[in-house]
């Protein structure tokens, strides 16, 4: 039976969440919206339209959504040639591939942004497939992206693992009946990740890599069974 190792990218494999926060803040400011960076940070991981709904409400003038999103994309695009990977992100994907996991990236990024992230992570040889926001109708926290990624890996939910850094990641994986692992490197508190469904929480890819032998990716571990906190923070 195939096993899928599903990974979010922004904030999970690449240290980009705060770049997104700054770019969304400036795009919203240009459109006349005063939104706290803290609130924007908590919305990172949602697709653009859902992010704007989360921040501005359902009754906003949606006619300006395209302008705000385009401003964000233009600002963020200036970083494409220097997006920073998180420590050991590529090594983690390659080690999982070596152990027989089918690695699939599951992201709300559009294709051009995803291409830049792939260059940053630099582990194409270990990645079975990628699932972007362009592939599904409903993004995280809906389970659709996770279901789509499982299909790409030809793997069932049982025995697969999703790794992400936001509550939206945890909720999407939980709704798809996939065990989820939270990483703190995206800036979301451990308690929030656990409340949203994280079975285990690690600092970053390097921490998860260091504990592959005893963590949720260890052979023979009942991945869908609740487990106590690892204590490795």
Per the structure block, which two tokens stand in for 164?
A: 């992400």
Percent of the chain with pLDDT over 70: 94
pLDDT, averaged across the chain: 92
* Cβ-based burial of 220 (10 A; exposed 0-12, middle 13-18, buried ≥19): exposed
Domains of the chain from N-terminus onward = 4-15+84-210 (3.40.50.1000), 17-78 (1.10.150)
pLDDT in tens, 152-184: 999 999 999 999 999 999 999 999 999 999 999
pLDDT in tens, 109-141: 888 999 999 999 999 999 999 988 778 888 999
Residue ranges in the chain assigned as alpha helix (H):
17-30, 37-43, 48-56, 65-77, 89-98, 111-121, 144-153, 167-175, 190-195, 205-210
Where residue 227 falls among pLDDT bands split at 50, 70, 90?
very low
């Amino acid at each position: 039976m195939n096993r899928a190792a599903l990974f979010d990218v922004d904030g999970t494999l690449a240290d980009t969440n705060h770049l997104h926060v700054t770019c969304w803040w400036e795009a919203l400011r240009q459109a006349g919206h005063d939104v706290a960076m803290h609130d924007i940070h908590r919305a990172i991981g949602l697709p653009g339209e859902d992010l704007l709904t989360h921040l501005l409400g359902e009754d906003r003038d949606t006619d300006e959504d395209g302008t705000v999103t385009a401003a964000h994309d233009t600002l963020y695009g200036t970083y494409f040639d220097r997006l920073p990977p998180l420590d050991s992100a590529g090594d983690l994907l390659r080690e999982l591939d070596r152990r027989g996991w089918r690695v699939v990236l599951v992201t709300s990024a559009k294709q051009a942004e995803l291409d830049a992230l792939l260059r940053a992570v630099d582990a194409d040889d270990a990645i079975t497939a990628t699932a972007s926001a362009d592939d599904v109708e409903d993004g995280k926290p809906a389970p659709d992206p996770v279901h789509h990624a499982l299909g790409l890996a030809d793997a069932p939910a049982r025995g697969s693992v999703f790794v992400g850094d936001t509550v939206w990641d945890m909720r999407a994986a939980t709704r798809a009946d996939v065990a989820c692992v939270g990483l703190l490197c995206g800036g979301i508190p451990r308690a929030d990740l656990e409340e949203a469904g994280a079975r285990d929480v690690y600092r970053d890819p390097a921490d998860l890599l260091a504990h592959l032998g005893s963590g949720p990716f260890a052979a023979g571990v009942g991945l869908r069974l609740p487990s106590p906190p690892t204590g490795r923070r």
